Amino acid sequence: MNDSLSLLGLHFTVLELISFVLSLLTVLLNIRQNHWAWLLAIISSAAYGMVFFNARLYGDMGLQLVFIVVSVWGWHSWLRGGALHQPLQVTRLDRAGWSISLAGWAVGFVLLAWFLKTWTDTDVPRADGFLTAGSLLGQVLLSRKKVENWHAWIAVDVLYVGLYLYKQLVLTAILYALFVLMAAYGLRAWKRAVQGAAA
């Protein structure tokens, strides 16, 4: 799984390639609000956890473990998290939700950056902490079917492209560039879903 492959001048491992494909499928299913996305999220998170461990991106590695737990919760929420245990509908954050979300991202960043700088040998504690905290926020909002999850993912994914290029995870950087485009499409699709429900 850690054997190196080369394609079109890109170097990556078999495990990174598998993680890449599963992650793309996960986001495509999320855009379509298909609950099977959560199963693929669990598998791809486990695979990417190993990729990030090998790259010494411990915040991202730990994030994958959290993603697995949140994916189980998200799967249940999407199927039974609505009123009267019905499937959850796409909604928007209110002003308080925005404030809590941004404050949570900031607090998470400070704590994670401190932890990573103090207790690991990572060379990018601030970047890893900031993006890990933002990804946690995006995952929680996605689990609750909030439109704003796509805003969080767009911001995080743009920055992840640079981080992964720095860490020479070129295939993963390409994946996150694709995620930016997919998140923009997801944002439009979920906004339409909210407008359709309102109508």
Classify burial at 62, counting beta carbons within 10 Å of its beta carbon; exposed 0-12, middle 13-18, buried 19 or more.
buried
Q: Give the model's pLDDT for residue 5.
A: 61
Closest CA to 139 of 150, 129, 128: 150
Within-domain flag for 87: no
- What is the per-residue pLDDT across 134-145, written as a single tens digit (0 to 9) for each? 999 999 999 999
Q: Give the model's pLDDT for residue 50.
A: 93
Q: Pick 11 or 55 by higher pLDDT.
A: 55
Average pLDDT over residues 26-51: 95
Q: Give the model's pLDDT for residue 14.
A: 86
Provide φ and ψ at 4, rounded to 5°.
-85, 140
The mean predicted confidence, pLDDT, of the chain is 91
- What is the per-residue pLDDT across 79-107, written as a single tens digit (0 to 9) for each? 988 777 888 899 999 999 999 999 999 99
Q: Does residue 2 have a pLDDT over 70?
A: no
Q: Pick 9 or 164 by higher pLDDT.
A: 164
Within-domain flag for 88: no
Q: CB-based contacts of 2: which residues, under 8 Å, 6+ apart? A: 13, 14, 15, 54
- What is the per-residue pLDDT across 55-72, written as a single tens digit (0 to 9) for each? 888 878 888 999 899 999
Q: Give the model's pLDDT for residue 193.
A: 92
Within-domain flag for 39: yes
Within-domain flag for 150: yes
pTM, to two decimals = 0.87
Count of domains observed in the chain: 1
Q: Write the Ramachandran bin of 151: left for phi over 0, alpha for psi from -120 to 50, otherwise beta.
A: alpha
Within-domain flag for 89: no
Q: Give the model's pLDDT for residue 6.
A: 66
Within-domain flag for 184: yes
Domain that holds residue 138: 4-82+94-198
Question: What is the secondary structure of 29-62 as a DSSP string?
Answer: HHHTT-TTHHHHHHHHHHHHHHHHHHTT-HHHHH
Provide φ and ψ at 115, rounded to 5°.
-60, -50
Q: Does residue 199 have a pLDDT over 70?
A: no
